[in-house]
Structure 1
């Protein structure tokens, strides 16, 4: 076999093997990565569902036990008052309490009881208990926890004498100081499954998608489908795939983990392999299954295989052509040199041989001519080197002059840079002054203490505003004109100088319309929107804002209009009502006419009732763990502290906000108004 043929065959084999190895390795790595990713996705989905379920259960249990414990505390206060009024002896009053507490059950096996903590922490005695009366629980962690907490909710492990094993219990305690009692309500957590909103859980789970065609389904331990895209409310305990595998029984048996089976959905012509990730919700007796088709993994791999095969074939074709061309370019000069060598061996001298090569128009001739050219280039290079030495000497002679000129150029550039720095500092000073003036204007337009004092016979008012930047885009105002009190709060998009200018426009519009006697909510907001919209178009600004306006009458009637955050109406007893303002207006400054979006809502405030107004910079503040402050937290602290004065309530909310931030900087403007009717 000739060298030419050997080279072609060897190169083809090398290219083919390389393409096969690279393609196979790519397919294998891709398949394993996609498979791992799908299993991880399924596991994350089931973990997410489990976390959602646990959170729902914890909140429901805590609220339920709190209500029972606080009701029991009211009953204890009632009998204590009987004792104080000499209608009962102290022993009789305590016995009445024991009779009531022991007569009530929480769920099937939960109960009420009382700890006497007069000797705590050394002794925490079960003074009233249906199963272990007079037991000293100071030796147990939960006993010390209850004593330390006094009021609140916690969970612990417990085993009564008639129970086979430890189980998780939930307890809420309320402290009654006159008798040094902790009034407790407790039961095992699995007792509270009826508190869970099953429909809400099912709705949340039904929105989750898995892969391209996968889905979530839920079944109980009897094989009844609680949630399924196509088979809900069916019993599938005896379902099997086309191999005879009872996969539903296996799912119920495992409860958690991974199960593989074959399934054919409606409209599908054949069975396909599925992968299912399981999680068990013992409080509901549910098994939540996140399932996806194995084809979700194989389809990308199959597409990659086709692409690699086509690429390999194309590379092989190009490689063969390139190899043939390369081999020819290597062998032809050798053949011609061999022929010339034979001629030389037949008697030709080297001069003839050299002359023959130089005159040939082929690769060998090119090689000979290349050597000839190389010799000429070497001679030319020597000449160029001598010339370069001469130029170097001349350059050395003029180097000092060039350095001097360059130094002068650098000095001129440095002077120009210094001049620009001076101008930049001046611009910074000017902009700082402008921002200071704008901030001062904002502060001057806020309601003054004297203005609020004139309203104190009707409303107790506390206000707080904190811009995130030098100047902010939050707005609030409290104006009184002709017997009407107008309260406004809004939030301009973004913050900074432009947002603050929009806020100043807004304050001016509100005061002007109030002074002109515009009383209609629709007319008031419509005119205000057209004014702001026109000004924003004139200054070519894309800003907009949310805004609500509240009209307060001396008889306690409060009328709300406009779209902003939810308004919290707080009753004198601390109960909080949320008013959603979404359907009461529209963003200001986006459309020229928003009259058809505007509506109003009225609520009666009695003595001691009030409202909480705020911007989203408060409720959407994130701490270092990326958790929002949230409206629920705000509602809870307001409810607990409503008996206090408005300044105390306002400061408590702000202090709680900064505890939540844990040192993190505010990312948005924060505004808070606390108003309470006298």
Structure 2
């Protein structure tokens, strides 16, 4: 009761209760009206900003297309002329066609062609000046394939020699290679021209004869000139808005500001990243897009976004600029909300002062009304205090005001109901305590059962871990040992296998037979216990058949398949195994079975790639693969060799999700090929592990290196042949 009295003494008076809610309601109504008006204005600003961003980005896209369309037309003309023999790269005395193209377009820096024989002809503008006299580039048999620069007259005729450059092979240039690889017209990446410092990119197109044989490639060097930056600056992008264009890599191509977009690095000029712009609005917008999408390459369609910079909302429009010629840029506009909201904020301030004036007048009128109403109610309040003190038999007898009298009667009824409620509440409390005790006992029993289950689960986990460890050790035990490989005459062999989990699904083996040496490599789908068991089955079946039958691998490959197929149907339907076998006999190597490409490495380091897709079929998918099995011979001279691998090598990923790749594998092979097989294996595995770094190994990694030596070693102990 004392706490109830204390709580009662803290209640506000009726006078305040009548004034404050009325004032608050009025303030809320006025505030909500003003806020909704503000939101409506802000929504209108949002629509206006959206329309402005769409219009501006479309204008920028149209302007860029205007700049970048003519190079393709010129390339098409040059390609047709080269295909028809109208451009003579061998006896280049005139380059009028290239000269007209450079003169017609102020942002075309150079126009040129190169052919498959290594000859090259083009016209270039020496500096970023459309009125500067152009020059001619020539590289052919007459120039001994060095790059000669000549003056030319107004008709494109060659004049005096200006400079003799270094050897120049157009076939090795990025513009030539990219056109050949794509087989169609394409754009290269944007780079900063060394002489002008302007963003430059190359459009190239391959040229074919009537029999679809490659003749050469024609290309145009294009600069995004200062006129385009001025076009961006002249766009009405609010008062402080910015527009910029960047590549998917984040390289800044152009912007509406006059900030330098290149940086000097030694003797090279490179373009800056948009995230490194000196303009804070461009820099922070690029950071926001990168944080929002993780990578600029994920921006595949037009986006309208907004973010906060310095506690101010920024409207952003992103429009991808893509075509089927390899061009992939992003057009970005950013406009601060403050460019549109100045008038809205002024209206909000006016609304605020009007609300304050209305609130003052309402408070004064509320005080007068509250005093008139509160007098009779205060009498009822004293009677309520007696009831609050516990005197529930208190009778309230108040007259004068009908509503107050009704309120007194309600208090009397409430007192009787409170007495009844207190009695019922006591009974409920007793019942609830009994239920709590019962429930506590049930929870304790359930907790004991859970503890027992947890202990059993820990024991099961320990047992499973031990079983997997035994399976992994078993896999390692049946792999060829280094001392076994060293005993094989005429061949230097080294192998490696690392599993992604406790048990792997990769397979390799080297089997010494009466007729020669059998080398196998394979990969079971997936990894883990089932894949590891299937790998052991395959290894056992191959060794058993090789021991029982000295026939060529192509003969018993189908028998291996039948064993695998029957066991797969029992174990895990859907599992299969790719397998290639190399049978070395009489100084000749026979390859059969379907797996990854086989790399044949010659003594001088040249690599030949052998596709195995037509030499077999995945084992375990069908019961008979006889019709699919074929074999090809591979001759190995002294110093030649073979490199076998599983997809875990070339598909190894680093933290940036970049694959190791076949090209990098071949580079490592060529670099270390003059060393022994085990040194080659160690170098390649070390390079793969360096590429992976701290990232977890996602797939089994297997590598086999085989080299034919000049003469077999006479110091090796005798070999037990199967």
Could you tell me the TM-score, scaled by structure 2's length? 0.47
Structure whose residues are more often helix by fraction: 1
Could you tell me the TM-score, scaled by structure 1's length? 0.50
